Amino acid sequence: MNSRSRITTSGASHRMHRPKCPCVECQIEFEYETQTLTPASDFTRTLNDDEVCSLLSGFIKDATIARASLKNTLENHEDTIMSRWKKMSQAKRRAVLEQIQPPIANERAADMQCLYNSPVTHLGSRDSVMRKQFLLPWLSINRLTSSVSALFALLHVRTEYHPHEWACFDADQLSQPWKHEYLKLEYSDKFISMEEACYGSILQHDHGAVRNVLAFPQNTPCRVSASHC
């Protein structure tokens, strides 16, 4: 058996309940088996309910602390940081950005470059660094080093607005890495709310919500990318 454990039989045969709203936007958020190009059994493992709750609560706590810390740093030291960033050469800016985790690709749309340039097509064989770059497909080191204002614009909007306001954007940007299963994901049949009032909370199958809700596997890359940016 390879390094990736198979999903449970019940999980593999499970198909998500359709939302009541028939529009394409709501329908596609709830479907994962036909969105991915590989079978649902290719998730790394199945999480139990306690593991899902622990992951979500830990994310919300860490993301809240990180966002507050970054916002406080910018409010108190923004002028100094901006001044130093402007004085740096592009090479020095690149050296700083290359230390960021998850790593940022040199160019945007790293998923398409990987798709056409790499002979490796199996998730388990993909380089972990490149796989992490799919979490931020809309960012590039070249863009952030060449434009002085790009980094500060990014920091401003990501700290000013709550993560729930980025949920749709992140889900859309991660659609290709998700579809081609470039990301290493774990499975749960839970639904996760992206609404501000109950952001990150678990919803049951009989919930009435049809907007701002993601299945756990699709929520994972959005959650992880939001925690790093």
Residues 6+ away with beta carbon under 8 Å from 163: 63, 67, 199, 226
71-90 pLDDT, tens digit per residue, is 999 999 999 999 999 999 99
Asked whether residue 32 carries a pLDDT value surpassing 70, the answer given is: no
Domain limits, the chain: 88-189+219-229
Global confidence as pTM = 0.68
Most confident of 42-46, 92-96, 157-161, 200-204: 92-96
Residues 28, 32, 36, 39, Cα dihedral to 10°: -150
Residues 6+ away with beta carbon under 8 Å from 153: none
53 vs 18: which has the higher pLDDT: 53
Residue 26 in tokens: 């709501």
